[in-house]
Amino acid sequence: MSSQPKPQILFTRQEVKATVDRLAAEIREDYQGKHPLLIGVLKGSFVFMADLIRLLDFPLEVEFITLSSYGRGRSTRGELRMVKGLHTEVKGRHILVVEDIVDTGHTISFLLDYLGKKKPASLRLCSLTDKPSRRQIPVAIDYLGFTVPDKFIVGYGIDWDERFRYLPDICFVEVED
């Protein structure tokens, strides 16, 4: 096997759990009785989504979408497109987008624009992490877990070229740009 960078812990699993508990409490407060549709952005949000919804004690629905951008480098560059779309009507629904990380902001802005055009009753964003130092497009994050430094984040569902998703802590790796 080729050598790979060693992940270093940024936030422990206990800190992650406490933060997901906090986000769930905020979401419970705002969405009780609204039957929201939570839309997870694959693949990075799947672990976060799984933990989050089990802390929400009211009726809701879950969908996942896949977006792709060209290139596999660190930055999101070029055109974004929807690879796996939605099977549920968005019009008139309370939509909560669940994302793993907002970096330059291109991906989530594209998705929020796309969903906004479908006339939801409300549209908000919950992101596990935010890397504001690299932002190119302004993004309002309604429910934010952690602000992270300008490092490459992995673990708790988040990958580096498909590696390290299984790590229970939020970590970072030193990688070349």
Our CB check for Mg ion shows the closer of 41 and 171 to be 41
Q: Which stretch binds Mg ion (CB under 5 A): 19-27, 34-42, 56-64, 149-157?
A: 34-42
Catalytic residue among 103, 150, 169, 177: 103
Q: Is 112 helix (H, G, I), strand (E, B) or coil?
A: helix
The two structure tokens encoding residue 158? 């988040």
Which one of 37-45, 57-65, 137-145, 162-170 is the stretch in contact with Mg ion (CB under 5 A)? 37-45
Among Mg ion, ligand IMP, none, the one that 104 touches (CB under a kind-dependent 5 to 8 A) is: ligand IMP
With binding defined as CB under 5 A, does residue 51 bind Mg ion?
Answer: no
Task: Please select the residue that binds Mg ion; options are 36, 44, 155, 157, rule is CB under 5 A.
Answer: 44
Q: Measure CA 102 to chain center.
A: 7
Coil, strand or helix: which one is 74?
coil
**Is 177 in the active site?**
no
Q: Applying CB under 6 A, which residues contact ligand IMP? A: 41, 44, 76, 99-108, 152-153, 158
Whether a cis peptide bond, with omega within 30° of 0, leads into 6 is no
| Residue 69 Cβ vs ligand IMP, minimum distance, rounded to whole Å | 7
The set of long-range contacts for 12-16, using a CB threshold of 8 Å and a minimum separation of 24, is 12/169, 13/156, 13/168, 13/169, 15/170, 16/145, 16/156, 16/168, 16/169, 16/170
Positions annotated as catalytic residues are 103
